Amino acid sequence: MDDGISLRLIKASEDGDAGAVKEILAMKPYIHAQDASGRCAIVAAAYKNRLEIIDLLIEAGADVNMKDDTLQSAYLIATSDGYYELLMKTLAAGADVHCTDSYNGTGLIRAADRGHVDIIKELLKTKIRVNHINKLGWTALHEAVILGDGGARHTEVVRLLAEAGADVNLPDRYGTAPLAHARSRGFTEIARILKNHGAM
């Protein structure tokens, strides 16, 4: 199929133009064609949370695990941006929960960093690795404490992770444990949760 058609599909997907997407899909283009940034149609749609387009592309055989040049997939975008419906669509379409971003971070780590409670709840229903360590030497629990604001959302994320078996005593690469990070930031409730789950 003409590359121009595939590029039109990517643009229409990004724009959320369902009519154009349907018209182009009827031409049977290569659905995983990539633009100059390595984005295929489903990644372009995911960045803008174009749910109707995502449905059309998945139905046409789009792979929710395809990544662009920055190692973002539709699934990973959903975890970091808090797009709950997009997450559910990608999980139903076979998202690889073990895939990682450019920091070797899982979707769980990305969601913990940003305090996306609903995303965390869904990911913990999968076989995702709770204690996966990224390039910074941090797990999801570390990110929720270190990069979080100590508010209600990040506190709930810490609780969910601890209840799911996160290692509350695993130090970061500098030897600092989550409890010490919480205390140094004045996150009293997070510190209490960690202590209740055996943190020292």
Tokens 């899982």 correspond to 106
Is it the case that residue 57 has pLDDT exceeding 80?
yes
- Residue 118: count other Cβ atoms within 10 Å of its Cβ: 12
**Rounded mean pLDDT of 165-184?**
97
**Rounded mean pLDDT of 73-81?**
98
Distance of CA 96 to the CA centre of its chain: 11
- The CATH number of domain 98-200, selected from 1.10.10.60, 1.25.40.20, 3.10.20.30, 1.20.1440.230: 1.25.40.20
Task: Dig out the tokens for 158 from the structure.
Answer: 């810490």
pLDDT of 2: 54
- In the three-class reduction of DSSP (H, G, I as helix; E, B as strand; rest coil), residue 113 is classed as helix
Q: What is the pLDDT of residues 31-50, one digit of tens each?
A: 999 999 999 999 999 999 99
Angstrom distances, CA of residue 76 to CA of 55, 178, 199 = 17, 25, 30
**Rounded mean pLDDT of 146-156?**
98
Non-local (6+) Cβ contacts of 48 within 8 A are 14, 16
**In the chain, domain spans:** 1-96, 98-200
- The CATH number of domain 1-96, selected from 3.40.50.300, 1.10.10.10, 3.40.50.10090, 1.25.40.20: 1.25.40.20
